[in-house]
A and B are shown apart, each in its own frame.
Chain A
Amino acid sequence: EAGVAQSPRYKIIEKRQSVAFWCNPISGHATLYWYQQILGQGPKLLIQFQNNGVVDDSQLPKDRFSAERLKGVDSTLKIQPAKLEDSAVYLCASSFKRGAGANVLTFGAGSRLTVL
């Protein structure tokens, strides 16, 4: 099966600019996650979707970050305006529907953001 697709792989922007990341999960995976991974740290959950509804966004800085998952498939994560501390790898992951036995995560390769 095809993996989780993310784009762009790399992005360099100036602070206060905006940026958007796109994720296409594995077909049939109802749950989608966005993680932020700062260099040297473990991934930090930003937002979790179940189909097109938000399950958890408690760690999403809502004054500058937004995410949507229209039609319960693709998802977009936006940062506006970006700050220097937003420099990180943004990882998208998906898993099969809740209630399924294994429910393991499959990650994309990530989008590396550098804010200058």
Chain B
Amino acid sequence: DAKTTQPNSMESNEEEPVHLPCNHSTISGTDYIHWYRQLPSQGPEYVIHGLTSNVNNRMASLAIAEDRKSSTLILHRATLRDAAVYYCILRDFGTYKYIFGTGTRLKVLA
């Protein structure tokens, strides 16, 4: 299973952009990059996913490096409700297995 590496924690000021990095140097050509976040006392929730091109949705943007060995989740204006643990996951193409790492705990300061 391909692995991801994320910083343990990050801080951001409210209403400022946040860039959450993820390294996945062993990614295979058919692995999708998924991001989920987990709010306190809740199950993880889907944020965004991509394969090769940058992606935008109402929650966030995903920037994928040209060699696909890293990606960055971008929250354009962090709010207090964005405080959560963010997980970067490589979805195995063959088995549709999702392997979570330890994630990045994002703290948003008012």
Q: Which residues of A contact B (CB under 8 A)?
A: 4, 31, 33, 35, 41-45, 48, 55-56, 91, 93, 95, 98, 102-110
* 3 nearest A-B pairs in the assembled complex, by CB-CB distance: A107-B43, A42-B100, A104-B46
Nearest-Cβ distance from residue B50 to partner chain A, whole angstroms: 11
The complex places the Cα of A101 from the Cα of B50 at a distance, in Å, of: 11
B49 CB, min distance to chain A CBs, angstroms: 7
Shortest beta-carbon distance, B61 to chain A, in Å?
17
B97 at the interface (CB under 8 A from A): yes
Say yes or no: B95 contacts A48, CB within 8 Å.
yes
User: Which B residues have a C-beta under 8 Å from some C-beta of A?
Assistant: 34, 36, 42-46, 49, 85, 87, 91, 95-103
Where chain B touches its partner, the secondary structure class is: loop
Smallest CB gap from B91: residue in A: A103
The interface residues of chain B lying within 8 Å CB-to-CB of A107 are: 43-45
* Nearest neighbor of A41 in chain B, beta-carbon distance: B102
**Minimum distance in angstroms from B91 CB to a CB of chain A:** 7
CA gap between A63 and B91 in the complex, in Å:
28
Indicate if the CB atoms of B103 and A42 lie closer than 8 Å.
yes
Say yes or no: B95 contacts A105, CB within 8 Å.
no
Contact A98 B96 (CB under 8 A): yes
CA distance A55 to B107 in the complex (A): 36
What residues of chain B lie closer than 8 Å to A35, measured between beta carbons?
Answer: 100
A105 vs B101: C-alpha distance when bound (angstroms):
16
Known: A41-B102, A42-B102. A93 touches B43 (CB 8 A): yes
> Can you list 8 A-B contacts (CB < 8 A)?
A42-B103, A43-B44, A48-B97, A55-B95, A91-B43, A103-B91, A104-B46, A109-B42
Within the complex, the shortest CB–CB distance from A102 to chain B, in Å, comes to 7
One of B46, B49, B98, B101 near A33 (C-beta < 8 A): B98
CB nearest to A44 among chain B residues? B100
Q: Which of B36, B46, B91, B98 has the most CB of A within 10 A?
A: B98
